[in-house]
Amino acid sequence: MSKIVLGQNQYGKAEVRLVKITRDTKRHEIEDVTVTSQLRGDLDAVHTEGDNAHVVATDTQKNTVYAFARDGVGSIETFAMRLGQHFTGEFEWITGGRWEIEQYSWARIPVDGEGHDHSFVRSSDERRNTVVTIDGDRTWIVSGLSNMVVLKSTGSEFRGYPKDKYTTLQETSDRILATSVSARWRYLTTDVDFDKTFENVRAVMLEAFATTHSLALQQSLFQMGSAVLEAHPEIAEVKFSMPNKHHFLVDLEPFGLDNPGEVFFAADRPYGLIEATVEREDAPDAGRAWDSVPGFC
């Protein structure tokens, strides 16, 4: 029988909920994130012998997240790197790890036409996220967004596909195109204005979705990714996962009514799921950047 050994491993505190209110002026700021910290390194003994000498308690990792937030969160990428550099610098046997952060957006409640100083409303289910991976002296950053729901009420077609005895879908030259965009992009450097870049990447994606006369959701996806890479040389690739949020025209003839493309049934499942990577042909190897970013091809 071959020898049994320990393979790759990591451990930490998952989904630490953190809300930071900055109140140094009368106009408060809110930062709302979920942080996961996972450490890697010389951890064989705890698995094979139950020796905890190298185990930085997951509770300690949680407390470190809260303590670091006292100075502010800032960009989630920078905050994740701060945590990673702390753990790999403070404990010599911790040689790397994975720090994932998801950020929730809040908008100021308008009062008399102005955003209130200290009252907020959750703006949507859309979330910003990042995964920072450290392995020795190398750092990879994969950032992105999820649940960005978009819709085109026209400017989309779907026809020319093969048909067999099981095909019932009718071709169309004018349809609603809707999806919930989840996208992740890999940075080529850590020297980035992450907040500014995130806002611009999001804006570029939205503009490409809006202006592309879509013959397929795949085409829209590729145009969105291409636009991001053209605008941002510091990004190597963009991965997308985009479900097709189907809208079916309702037959109103039984009620003696026509329906000139105005009344639809929004179906939630089943749904088409489109996933792809748009990348630079000469992009450097991704290393461990995508090792623990599930759900993307």
Report the C-alpha gap between 259 and 40 in whole angstroms. Answer: 59
Q: Kindly state the helix (H) or strand (E) to which residue 63 belongs, with its residue range.
A: helix 58-69
Please indicate whether residue 130 is annotated as part of the active site. Answer: no
Whether 37 and 12 have beta carbons less than 8 Å apart is answered as yes
From the candidates 58, 95, 190, 277, give the one annotated as an active-site residue.
Answer: 58
Helices (H) and strands (E) in the chain, counts: 5, 10
What number of other Cβ atoms are within 10 A of residue 156's Cβ? 22
Residue pair 53/80 in contact (Cβ under 8 Å)? The answer is: no
Cα separation, 9 vs 121, whole angstroms? 40
Instruction: For residue 59, say whether it is annotated as part of any ligand binding site.
Output: yes
Instruction: Determine whether the annotation assigns residue 222 to a binding site.
Output: no
Per residue, the 3-state secondary structure of 190-249, as one string, reads CCCCHHHHHHHHHHHHHHHHHHCCECCHHHHHHHHHHHHHHHCCCEEEEEEEEEECCEEE
- 62, 232, 245, 246: the catalytic one is 246
**Can 54 be counted among the known catalytic residues?**
no
8 is in an annotated binding site: no
> Which run of H or of E encompasses 17?
strand 11-22
Q: Catalytic residue among 13, 62, 232, 245, which?
A: 13
Q: What is the DSSP letter of 3?
A: P
Q: Is the peptide bond before 270 cis (omega within 30 degrees of 0)?
A: yes
Burial label, 169 (beta-carbon count in 10 A; 0-12, 13-18, 19+): exposed
The total of other beta-carbon atoms located within 10 Å of residue 61's CB is 24
175 is in an annotated binding site: yes
Are 228 and 111 within 8 A, CB to CB?
A: no
Known active-site residue 13: yes
Binding residues for O2: 244
Binding residues for urate: 58-59, 158, 175, 218, 244
Binding residues for 5-hydroxyisourate: 158, 175, 218, 244
Binding residues: 58-59, 158, 175, 218, 244
Residues serving a catalytic function are 13, 58, 246
